[in-house]
């Protein structure tokens, strides 16, 4: 139903949450329904919504990190500060790490008209929106102003190895930024402890006269150290080869005092109220005790805005794997965070890791989050970003890199992507003068929305593990059958491990479509080489300068990114076989042959779409929601 008078909707994400795909789709759906929309993007604070609510009919707040209670604490005060706002307030997403009923009641008592504590589809949102607005008087308003965001890309740091003087100058301030940093100061003491710990890099190393290892790694992350140790012990017993903790979203935004409050609240409630492990607050000695008890290669996973203190404490605590990079932990996660600044901060991290190797012989693995925004990511962009991150890290002395890729769901394309990722990662590092860097390949099980039915989710996990094993990846990061419905428990992760082991074993009886894999690999090599050439050309020989300028020019462009430093012109969808293609190549510098290839595949998809689609965005929405809505026969999609 289209209302006779368009209404004004304010839409945005709140807090540290970076999920932008659903917001982007909802924005276009509301536009196509005839309403005016003021799109705020992600990572707003509560007062930002009040400042934009005066001329709105509805204010929609998305929260996917489970901390809405924390973000709404000032709601009563702000209603007094901004009198006269008569907008209807909606909240939706993954609103609470604990009770959906509790957060629903609390939000409604604050005055929220609609509360969707878990996943809700776009047609339902549009339906209740029309229902709420149908009897509401139509105000006379102008067109909403577009948000004013910074667009200057900034100046990239020099593309050279940090000197010891430069590192020391930064290090003092980094270690003094929170009290636990002081314990990480002694590099020699840290290295002596690191050398006695299981090595994340060594776990990936090929064995003589043996197959390349296929490591299985579950996810975990809770507020209290004792509970985290218990989880690690259980996962290790369930067959995890390597372990990792996910850092909570408050720490990821460097809000250590708020993380401390979350630890205290978790102790008081007897359950974690944080969505991860607040490692900076726990500090070096807690980490050392944990890894001494668990005795498994351990990795820090995060997406922290300023990762320097986190890296210092991680290394000092005996953790031999550290994830993230200047692109992969910026563009998919932050709205207003310049690449120039993230490049500087990650140079520090990589130089610290390089220093441990050069001075003490400690090899700390550096992994890059090639998953990016997770949904409909064309493999060539994931490969390019991984290769760039690897070259930047090697330039600072890193000796082991893990290049990450998220399964997209077309088995032949995914296998081709993993093979090309390893091949070109090694090739470009060797060409740059770093042939000795160890290159590991990570296969992330489907990172987009999961099917809510447990049986379908389990089938996806098994088939995904089969694809990962067939691809030749070094490591598989697992999912659980409850991804769509709740935050996974330890037992859920144990089940995910069991299903993944089962899928890996089933790979022995599966035949790979080598012809299609070769065809996909040929396309990927051409795309990767063309994009990388444009990045290097933009920088005039400087990789750091090339990264900043390539994003500004649109020669690098990540679909669904929340970042204002990403043009957002590239659009992707699936072809009739389920492979991810470019629906719009934006300003990527592809050859005519590559553009024609994608245009042909997407034209065929438009012609055969059932039911027919009215717009490209409707096609994208259908593909994004295909798995959670159950509109597929079996995983992978080309099975």
Proportion of the chain above pLDDT 70, given as a percent: 97
Task: Tell me the pLDDT of the chain averaged across its residues.
Answer: 94
Q: pLDDT at position 276, please?
A: 96
Q: pLDDT at position 337, please?
A: 95
Residues 345, 307 contacting (CB under 8 angstroms): yes
Q: pLDDT at position 478, please?
A: 98
Q: Enumerate the H helices of 362-402 as residue ranges.
A: 379-395
pLDDT 10s digits, 149-168: 455 788 999 999 999 999 99
pLDDT 10s digits, 329-387: 999 999 999 999 999 999 999 999 999 999 999 999 999 999 999 999 999 999 999 99
Q: pLDDT at position 135, please?
A: 82
pLDDT 10s digits, 468-500: 999 999 999 999 999 988 889 999 999 999 999
- Average of pLDDT values for 231-244? 97
pTM of the model: 0.92
Q: pLDDT at position 6, please?
A: 81
pLDDT 10s digits, 180-205: 999 999 999 999 999 999 999 999 99
Residues 536, 432 contacting (CB under 8 angstroms): no
Q: pLDDT at position 280, please?
A: 99
Q: How confident is the model at residue 1 (pLDDT cuts 50, 70, 90)?
A: low
Residues 288, 194 contacting (CB under 8 angstroms): no
Point out which residues pair with 405 in neighbouring strands.
443
Inform me whether the pLDDT recorded for 2 exceeds 90.
Answer: no
CATH architecture assigned to 163-322: Alpha-Beta Barrel (3.20)
Inform me whether the pLDDT recorded for 139 exceeds 90.
Answer: no
Nearest of 174, 194, 330, 337 to residue 256 by alpha carbon? 174
- Say if strands 475-477 and 114-116 run parallel, antiparallel, or are unpaired: unpaired
pLDDT 10s digits, 390-415: 999 999 999 999 999 999 999 999 99
How many CB atoms neighbour CB 602 within 10 A? 22
User: DSSP per residue over 491-519, as a string?
Assistant: HHHHHHHHHHHHHHHHGGG----HHHHHH
Q: pLDDT at position 144, please?
A: 52
Residue 263 dihedral angles phi and psi, to the nearest 5°? -65, -45
Q: pLDDT at position 141, please?
A: 56
- Domain regions of the chain by residue span: 8-134, 163-322, 527-624
For residues 334 and 331, give the distance between their C-alpha atoms in angstroms, rounded to a whole number: 6
Q: How confident is the model at residue 120 (pLDDT cuts 50, 70, 90)?
A: confident
Q: How confident is the model at residue 235 (pLDDT cuts 50, 70, 90)?
A: very high
Q: pLDDT at position 98, please?
A: 76
> Which residues are annotated as catalytic?
252, 323
Which CATH fold would you assign to the domain 8-134?
Rossmann fold (3.40.50)
- Average of pLDDT values for 24-33? 90
Q: How confident is the model at residue 145 (pLDDT cuts 50, 70, 90)?
A: low
For residues 376 and 624, give the distance between their C-alpha atoms in angstroms, rounded to a whole number: 7
Q: How confident is the model at residue 97 (pLDDT cuts 50, 70, 90)?
A: confident
pLDDT 10s digits, 281-313: 999 999 999 999 999 999 999 999 999 999 999
- Alpha-carbon distances, residue 320 vs 111, 183, 300 (angstroms): 48, 17, 8
């Amino acid at each position: 139903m289209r209302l006779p008078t368009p209404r004004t909707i304010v839409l945005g994400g709140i807090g540290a949450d970076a999920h932008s795909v659903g917001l982007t789709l909802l924005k276009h759906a509301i536009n196509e329904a005839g309403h005016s929309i003021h799109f705020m993007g992600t990572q707003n604070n509560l007062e930002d919504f009040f400042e934009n609510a005066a001329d709105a009919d509805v204010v929609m707040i998305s929260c996917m990190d489970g901390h809405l209670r924390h973000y709404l604490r000032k709601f009563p005060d702000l209603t007094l500060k901004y009198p006269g706002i008569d907008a209807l307030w909606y909240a939706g997403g993954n609103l609470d790490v604990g009770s959906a009923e509790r957060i629903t009641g609390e939000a409604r008592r604050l005055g929220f008209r609609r509360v969707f504590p878990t996943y809700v589809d776009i047609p339902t949102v549009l339906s209740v929106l029309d229902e709420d607005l149908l009897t509401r008087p139509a105000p006379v308003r102008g067109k909403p102003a577009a948000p004013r965001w910074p667009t200057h890309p900034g100046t990239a740091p020099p593309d050279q190895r940090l000197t010891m003087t430069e590192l020391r100058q930064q290090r003092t301030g980094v270690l003094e930024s929170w009290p636990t940093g002081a314990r990480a100061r002694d590099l020699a003491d840290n290295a002596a402890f690191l050398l006695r710990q299981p090595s994340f890099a060594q776990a990936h190393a090929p064995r003589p006269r043996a197959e390349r290892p296929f490591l299985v790694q579950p996810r975990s992350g809770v507020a209290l150290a004792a509970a985290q140790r218990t989880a690690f012990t259980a996962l290790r017993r369930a067959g995890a080869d390597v372990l990792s903790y996910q850092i909570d979203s408050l720490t990821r935004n460097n809000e250590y005092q708020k993380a401390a409050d979350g630890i205290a609240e978790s102790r008081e409630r007897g359950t974690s109220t944080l969505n991860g492990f607040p490692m900076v607050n726990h500090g070096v000695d807690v980490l050392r005790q944990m890894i001494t008890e668990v005795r498994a290669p351990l990795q820090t996973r995060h997406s922290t805005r300023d990762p320097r203190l986190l890296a210092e404490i991680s290394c000092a605590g005996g953790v031999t794997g550290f994830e993230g990079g200047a692109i992969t932990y910026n563009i998919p996660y932050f709205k207003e965070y310049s690449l120039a600044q993230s490049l500087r901060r990650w140079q520090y991290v990589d130089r610290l890791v390089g220093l441990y190797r050069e001075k003490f012989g400690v090899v700390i693995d550096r992994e890059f989050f090639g998953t990016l925004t997770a949904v409909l990511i064309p493999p060539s962009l994931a490969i390019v970003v991984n290769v760039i991150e690897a070259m930047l890290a090697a330039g600072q002395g890193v000796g082991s890199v893990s290049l990450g890729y998220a399964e997209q769901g077309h088995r032949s394309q995914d296998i081709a992507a993993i093979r090309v990722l390893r091949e070109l990662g090694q090739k470009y590092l060797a060409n740059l003068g770093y042939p000795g860097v160890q290159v590991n390949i990570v296969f992330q099980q489907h990172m987009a929305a999961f099917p809510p039915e447990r049986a379908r989710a389990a089938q996806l996990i098994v088939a995904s593990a089969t694809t990962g094993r067939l691809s030749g990846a070094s490591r598989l990061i697992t999912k659980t059958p409850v991804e769509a419905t709740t935050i996974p428990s330890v037992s859920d992760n144990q089940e995910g491990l069991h299903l993944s082991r089962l899928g890996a074993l089933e790979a022995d009886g599966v035949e790979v479509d080598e012809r299609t894999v070769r065809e996909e690999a040929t396309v990927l090599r051409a795309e990767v080489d063309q994009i990388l050439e444009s990045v290097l050309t933009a920088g005039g020989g400087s990789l750091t300068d090339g990264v900043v300028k390539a994003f500004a020019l649109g020669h690098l462009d990540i679909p669904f990114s929340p970042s204002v430093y990403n043009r957002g012109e590239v659009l992707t969808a699936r072809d009739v076989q389920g492979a991810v293609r470019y629906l719009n190549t934006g300003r990527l510098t592809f050859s005519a042959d590559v553009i024609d290839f994608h245009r042909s595949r997407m034209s065929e998809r438009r012609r055969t779409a059932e039911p027919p689609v009215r717009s490209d965005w409707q096609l994208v929405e259908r593909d994004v929601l295909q798995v959670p809505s159950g509109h597929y026969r079996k995983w992978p999609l080309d099975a």
